Amino acid sequence: MPTLLGVDAAPMLLVLILGVTNGMLTSSLLMRAPHAVPPAQASRAASLMVLSLNSGLLFGSLTSFLLHSLLCDCNPFLA
């Protein structure tokens, strides 16, 4: 399979940029959510945001195991 770039710097830079922007976006949303609801609901909104973030990360990683097992027809925990 041909490679698009012969150096590792470009993919590493892309991962760095996506990681920084994703971290900034996630942090700003987690800080902004409690202020977007009435003060009595701020704690519940913050907890719901954290629960949603963790649930998305969990289901995303579980989906990767499922897709890996379907594509390679193997046990993803052993291969």
What tens digit of pLDDT does each residue of 12-62 get?
899 999 999 988 999 999 999 999 999 999 999 999 999 999 999 999 999
pLDDT at position 4 is 67
pLDDT at position 76 is 74
The model carries a pTM of 0.70
Contact 31, 45 (CB under 8 A): no
pLDDT at position 44 is 95
Q: How far apart are CA 78 and CA 47, in angstroms?
A: 35
